[in-house]
Amino acid sequence: MQPHPYPSEEGSTMLEFAFSAIVLFVLLFGTIGSIMAFYTYEVVNQYARDASRYAIVHGADCSIPPDYTTSCSIGTGGSGNTAPANVALKTYLNHQIFPGINGANLTVRTTYAKAPGAGQCTTYPSNDCNGPGDQVTVVVSYPYLYKIPFIPQRSFTMEASSTMIISQ
């Protein structure tokens, strides 16, 4: 067996591979983490759209067939996570399952306003503004933890909103 022509370079291939592998894996896992963050953002957007659709068909004039005497309105009153509309929408969203998303961590906020260009709510004299023609804005928030090996974890809140006109 012949001695290595450059004895001072023995083991350099292993060292070069180690540095290259670290960079490769950080890029690979960073790309996967970015894709998961984008996926989560799109799911939060979908939740906001679905919640606003649910809210526009469950306004003040909503009733359940066949006799149409039972109200299906989700109401408005209160504020925060205990407001009837927020509880109803969060319950509705928790029945939608997206892989990797924990529905218990969702925060839902609703805002009812008069119809665009209208002088008052369609439910006047009540200021609930959840009658046909009024608008509802739903804001959905979700905490996202961005984890990549070799890099410190970062947590941030993803938020999406959707505004629609109440139909019934």
DSSP letter at 2?
P
What is the spatial distance between Cα 96 and Cα 45, in angstroms, rounded to a whole number? 13
Q: pLDDT tens-digit profile of 45-95?
A: 999 999 999 888 887 767 666 665 666 667 665 555 567 778 888 888 888
Q: pLDDT tens-digit profile of 135-149?
A: 888 899 999 988 777
Q: pLDDT tens-digit profile of 109-143?
A: 888 888 777 767 766 656 677 778 888 888 999 99
With a CB cutoff of 8 Å and minimum separation 6, the contacts of 146 are: 33, 37, 153, 154, 155, 156
* Element spanning 108, H or E: strand 107-113
Identify the band that residue 161 occupies on the pLDDT scale cut at 50, 70 and 90: very high
Domain regions of the chain by residue span: 12-165
Strand arrangement of the beta sheet that strand 135-148 belongs to: 107-113, 135-148, 151-165
Determine the length of the chain: 168
